[in-house]
Copies of this chain bind each other. A is one copy, B any other.
Amino acid sequence: MDNSKTDFDPSNWEDFRTLGHRAVDDAVARLSSIREGAVWKAPTDATSAAFSGPMPDDGLPLDQVYSDAVSALFPASMGNQNLRFWGWYMGAGTAGGALADFFAAVDGSNLGGGNTGAAKVEWQVIDWLTDMVGFPKGSGGILTSSGSQANLNCLVTARNKMASVDVRKVGIGGLPKPMRFYASQETHYCVAKALEVMGHGTDALRLVPVNERLAMDPGALPAMIAEDRAAGFEPVCVIGTAGATSTGAIDDLVALSKVARDEGLWFHVDGCVGAVVKLSRQHSGLVGGLEAADSVALDLHKWLQVPFGVGAAVVRRKTDQSDTFAAHGDFLEMKPRGLIVGDFFGGYGIDLSRGLSALKVWMTFKEQGRDKIGRMIDHTIELARGAAARAEAEPQMERMAPCPINVACFRFWGESLSDAALDAINNEIMLQLQEDGSAVMSDTQIGGKVAIRMAISNHRTVKSDVDAVLDLFIARGQKLLAEGFADGVAAE
């Protein structure tokens, strides 16, 4: 080995070119045939073996490293790129997005900030997103690694701007009264986690009851705020949910914004699931009122199909975010000239060194265009609503929740089955379909009962996939019943 070489470049760039071409060919082979085969398969022993053992002392040729990784990874991928993956809530990625990630790393710029082309990409993406939300001039934002981070960024901004003291200095211990935040019972747990990280604790989060649509009951909110004020708390923030993860339920954002305005509270919207419905000509009314928010958390690796992990925290007043996060280090002083001029991303969020995640967002919008993105959203809403309608019509299925957007919730049903038996059989059907690679759906609890979720945030899914999997779902339930599965549960 040549011990004098300390740089990490390939010894031979032609070898890298050959490998790179092979990686592209592998990507084409994989993604162009993603319709075929099992949605998900458990990792084999070979995959486990490939990713075990200590850090190697000696390096290996990159093409061998690549081969080892690809042969162990691809057969045991999550499967979310497959047309029949509708578990939890995630995007299916795109080939263009993968290329953007490569190209971002080849550009190599640090998006902490600085006067670079890369910085202009992120600012343009932020402009597009604030425009999508409907924010006025003077709004701003920052890309984050996830929707959870976007919510955290927005809630810290809300907290700091609503505080009557300089919380950046004295902390929340210096507040005259403990703060209270309000979100629906269906809010994503990342909101509670953000408040834990922020030192408020989950006690600071008041969960407002939901109505029959599983959206926050705006009528319940003023009374809770008044009650908290009377008890010596400081209500500061109403958190609307534009697309609950379980069911897609969208709070009445117009009503919530009015309560927030009347009560003098910050209005934040967790739009990670549904805010992008703004891009649909047909359905944008579902998230009407989003434009009245003070801050909105977005996830771009979900319905927008951008590869993981990228979200965005957008704010009505750009300075609210910089007032919250801008900081100064001796080693990082802005200059009037040279590389380190301009609007510094690190001053709008928690991260300082950052990659060019903006590029995959930019390329997705440029390649697909707003109209087609809107049509994809309409298409997936139609598929999910179709599934929910079928669940209502099928004698052996039950629709478990309204389907305002792209999440259908249902269960296999039989007249003689107890709720315990229904919970067990639905869980079993779901796991069997995962295990045999037919489809990935996930579950939730609705009214204390197990519901199976078909979250169609997948640009590749077509109606025949939904139909075929619902056929399978019913057939599997019938088979389990015939085998006496439910009797077993009853006997337990």
* 12 A-B pairs with C-beta separation under 8 A: A6-B459, A27-B102, A51-B123, A62-B367, A76-B118, A77-B109, A78-B109, A78-B116, A169-B201, A171-B199, A173-B201, A174-B201
B contact residues around A40 at 8 Å (CB): 116, 339
B contact residues around A145 at 8 Å (CB): 144-145, 149, 309, 351, 354-355
Interface: A226 (CB within 8 A) = no
Task: Taking A73-B117, A340-B442 as given, write out 19 further A-B residue pairs in contact, using a Cβ cutoff of 8 Å, ordered by the A residue number.
Answer: A7-B376, A8-B459, A9-B95, A13-B28, A31-B106, A51-B117, A54-B128, A69-B363, A70-B103, A77-B117, A99-B102, A108-B307, A111-B309, A145-B145, A148-B350, A173-B200, A308-B353, A330-B445, A331-B444
Within the complex, which residue of B54, B172, B367 is in contact with A65, where a contact is CB–CB below 8 Å?
Answer: B367
Within the assembled complex, what's the spacing in Å between the Cα atoms of A338 and B269?
Answer: 33
Interface: A491 (CB within 8 A) = no
Interface: A372 (CB within 8 A) = yes
Interface: A421 (CB within 8 A) = no
A334 smallest CB distance to B (angstroms)? 11
A313 smallest CB distance to B (angstroms)? 13
Contact A51 B352 (CB under 8 A): no
B contact residues around A332 at 8 Å (CB): 88, 442
A455 smallest CB distance to B (angstroms)? 9
A residues 90-132 near B (Cβ < 8 Å) are 90, 92-99, 101-112, 114-118, 120-121, 123-124, 127-128, 131-132
Within the complex, which residue of B99, B103, B110, B379 is in contact with A308, where a contact is CB–CB below 8 Å?
Answer: B110
B contact residues around A28 at 8 Å (CB): 13, 16-17, 20
B contact residues around A262 at 8 Å (CB): none
Interface: A265 (CB within 8 A) = no
Contact B99 A43 (CB under 8 A): no
